Structure 1
Amino acid sequence: MNGTPHNHPPLAVRISSSTEDLAVLDPLLAAASAAVGDVPALLDLAETAEAAAPKPGAGRTAFLWELLASVTAVDVAAGRVLEPHLDAAAILDQAAGFTDIRFKGVWGVFAAEAAGLHLTAEPAGGGVRLYGSKPWCSLAAQLDHAVLTAHTEDGGRAAFAVDLHARGVSFADPEWTSRGLREVPSGTVHFDGVPAVPLGGPGWYYRRPGFAWGGMGVAACWLGGAVAVARGYRESLLKSADAGREPDQIALAHLGEIDRTLTALTSYLAQTASRIDAGDLPGGQAWSEALRVRGHVAAAAERIQALVSQNLGPAPLAFDEAYGKRMADLALYIRQHHAMRDDAQLGALTLKGDHRW
């Protein structure tokens, strides 16, 4: 019951683009398939993909999400490596009025916080230097640069670009024991007087519409992982039928639920991408929509994983490496969603009147 169809090239995930337009992704998806488990190759893939990826909000947001979803459908870890690199490129593009940093090498985005760890940005000699520690920095020791957030003198937080090869940067052992995303360990990075370039000033990172767009890009990756699980399930039913075991009503009902779930999701993402490109999601409305998109996709992906796991039972988890990797990778990746806490945030915005109903 291998989750990857045999003798078939990787397929793109369609949100709204034509089949002909999606065909340009074929070489990228073939490269992603060849790079599974190979971190240097995945990092090279991220640089290659950046040249083909449109910026969010620039008229082809749906295609950007299709690219992210399609790569993740090939390998969840590949999508996990690709997404922050493209997000960093978009952030620097949005900050063009504040900096002229050239985007080169492989980038990460580190904006998480953790108890007991604190990163501050302090003025120094006409510039800014970073002091302290930043948690949840995926693949930091293998990246070239990062966009990260740090606390400022005014008590807020701001975004900065930093060279991860600079003197004063050190990497703690991630002590990564996860069974999911094994090749993408996240650990703590320490900064001791490291020069950094401000991006947009205090609060800009969170106020810009691109913050919401980036959050929806992550959801596009989750969608790709869910599509991969669904495709693997359909393939397993077809293989069983070829062997003389036709799927029963429950197996077919679950496949039907998966189909209508994914069809609804892709339609919703297509509509949302179109609204972004049309400028129909200004300011705070963009973040409300991001919470809706992320909540819908995360819940759907978890539901699809549950349905498939119930139907296929323990065998593929125990004996099918590709299936087990995909399920573990996606389960961990989705945990970037904060579930009911994000719904509570959306509820607070809805209470203030930010809704369409």
Structure 2
Amino acid sequence: MQLPSPAPVRLGAHETPAGPLLTALLAGVPADVDAALAAAPALGALAPSPGTGATADLWEGLATVAAVDLGAARALEPHLDALAILDQALIRDAAADPARTWGVFAAEGGADPLQATQTPQGWALTGTKPWCSLAGRLSHALVSAHLADGRRGLFAVDLASGGVSSAPGDWVARGLAEIPSTPLRFDAVAVDPVGDPGWYLSRAGFAWGGIGVAACWFGGAVGVARTVFAAARDDEPYALMHLGAVDELLETARRALAEAALRVDGGDAIGGAGSLLAKRVRATVARAAEEILDRAGHALGPAPLALDESHAKRVADLQLYLRQHHAERDQAGLGRAILATGNAPW
């Protein structure tokens, strides 16, 4: 399903012309996972890679989709991230194939971690990869794996290859229910390397991709905020108070994303500076989105959570999606990164 003429989510002034990706989305935004996967190749051809001068267009596009449906954004974001990674690795033929839909499977965990070994025939993967979102619906994925020297490598995988199979795993989520993220088993699966060993985590785009996820959180929070706005009345002071607080929170998150886009495009987000920027922006947007969920519950009461399917879904989706920010652990990581600079940054 597509929603025609959605309201855009802008990071800068609304009178600024929309970029190619946002312009295409304003003609019709994918409003569910099926539509997002169908549109992914065409949207991928329009989406800029972060750091190439139009990062705001990429993040505005993701936020605009997320404001309509977070499941659609959750399907589209990894596809665009994979295309950006392939572009950064100078592997453009794979990215240009319009028949491919991509995921990025880089989570770690479990008793049988995925291992990459080099054979006379090339690289092969063996082991289990957790949290493989939409693996049964995608054609390809970029998958991280452990190397013999302790580093991690990134590999392009045809998910229809022999040796790729679903591993046991339940998906009982109430939020993002349409994005099953279950394990995959790899048995000596032939793969193509993407970048040198260790490149995936050390490249500047790793931090930038994390901010793209925060743009999706921001869009989801905008969707919740629009419901708060639609319900507000001038004679309800508490509802107005929550609306004002929601606006303040959204502005804080918007400014963080807008400044980050400028810094990424300006070359001021490389190495440690880029990692620190991503930690700050993700923390800022996550905190804003969590408080907006809380404010919306207070302002709206139980009725929309019980009776409004789109609002109830959006709240559940955003609650789960936000858990990609690891709360206190990520805040501690931010503090550690600030301390490592050797100077108070304020």
- Asked whether the two chains share a fold, i.e. TM above 0.5, the reply is yes
- Amino acid paired to 2:191: A
Once the two structures are superposed, residues 169-221 of structure 1 have per-residue CA deviations (whole angstroms, 9 ceiling, x without a partner) of 11135421111011111000111111111111221111101000000000000
Tell me which amino acid in the other structure corresponds to 2:74.
Answer: R
Whole-Å separation in 1 of the counterparts to 2:19 and 2:107? 36
Question: What is residue 91 of structure 1 aligned with on the other side?
Answer: 85
Contact 1:168 1:191 in 2 (8 A): yes
- Does the alignment pair 1:73 with 2:62? no
Answer yes or no: is the 8 Å Cα contact 2:36–2:73 preserved in 1: no
SS at match of 2:144: strand
Give, as a single letter, the amino acid of the residue that structure 1 aligns with 2:345: R
Match among 26, 29, 48 for residue 32 of structure 1:
29
| 1:8-23 equivalence runs, <5 A | 9-16=5-12, 18-19=14-15, 21-22=17-18
Name the residue aligned to 1:122: 117
Judge conservation of contact 1:69–1:224 (CA < 8 Å) in 2: yes
Q: Give the whole-Å Cα distance in 1 for the aligned partners of 2:185 and 2:106.
A: 14
Distance in structure 1 (CA, Å) of the matches to 2:73 and 2:9: 13
Aligned partner of 2:345 in structure 1 is: 356
Instruction: Report whether the alignment pairs 1:57 with 2:51.
Output: yes
Deviation larger for 128-137 or 39-48: 39-48
Aligned-pair CA distance for 1:346: 1.3
Q: Tell me which of 306, 314, 323 is aligned to 1:318.
A: 306
Gaps of 5+ in 1: 1-6
Deviations 1:221-272 (Å, cap 9, x if unpaired)? 00000011001110122xxx4xxxx442221111111112212221221111
Distance in 2 between the 1:23 and 1:234 partners? Answer: 27
1:290 aligns with 2:286: no
The whole-number CA distance in structure 2 between the counterparts of 1:324 and 1:218 is 21
- In structure 2, stretches of 5+ residues that fail to align are none
**Equivalent in the alignment of 2:94:** 102
Name the CA distance, whole Å, in 1 between partners of 2:26 and 2:310.
16
Residue 20 of structure 1: how far off its partner (Å): 5.7
Q: Flag the 1:270–1:299 CA change in 2: closer, same or farther, 3 A.
A: same
Q: Does 1:153 align with 2:148?
A: yes
| 1:48 maps to amino acid | A
Q: List aligned pairs for 1:333-352, cutoff 5 A.
A: 333-352=321-340
SS of the equivalent of 1:87 reads: helix
Contact 1:76 1:326 in 2 (8 A): yes
SS at match of 2:165: strand
1:12–1:26 Cα contact (<8 Å) kept: no
What residue in structure 2 maps to residue 178 of structure 1?
A: 173
Task: Say if 2:256 and 2:284, in contact at 8 Å, map to a contact too.
Answer: no
Q: What SS does the aligned partner of 1:142 have?
A: coil
Residue 108 of structure 1 contacts residue 143 of structure 1 at CA under 8 Å; is this kept in 2? Answer: yes
| Higher RCO (Cα < 8 Å, 6 or more apart) | 1
CA distance in 2, matches of 1:288, 1:89: 24
How many residues are aligned here?
339
Query: How far apart in 2 are the matches of 1:318 and 1:27?
Result: 34
Change over 3 Å in CA distance of 1:61–1:344 after alignment to 2: same
CA–CA separation in structure 2 for the residues paired with 1:22 and 1:258: 25
1:47 and 2:41 correspond: yes
SS in 2 for 1:121: strand
SS at match of 2:324: coil
| Conservation of the 8 A alpha-carbon contact between 1:32 and 1:78 | no
Q: 1:202 aligns with which of 197, 201, 222?
A: 197
- Pairing of 1:191-270 with structure 2 (within 5 A): 191-237=186-232, 241=233, 246-270=234-258
Q: Give the drift of 1:81.
A: 0.5
| Comparing 139-148 and 170-179, the one that deviates more | 170-179
Q: For 1:31 and 1:125, how far apart are their aligned partners in 2?
A: 48
Question: For the Cα contact (< 8 Å) 2:102–2:142, is it kept in 1?
Answer: yes
Letter in 1 for 2:79: H
Change (3 A) 1:18 1:107: same
- How far apart, in 2, do the equivalents of 1:303 and 1:18 lie? 25
TM-score calculated relative to the size of structure 2: 0.93
Partner of 1:299: 287
Identical-pair percentage: 50
Name the CA shift for 1:72/1:201 in 2 (closer, same or farther; >3 Å). Answer: same
**Which stretch of structure 1 is more off in the superposition, 274-283 or 204-213?**
274-283
- Opposite residue 298 of structure 1, the aligned amino acid is A
Secondary structure at 1:135 match in 2: strand
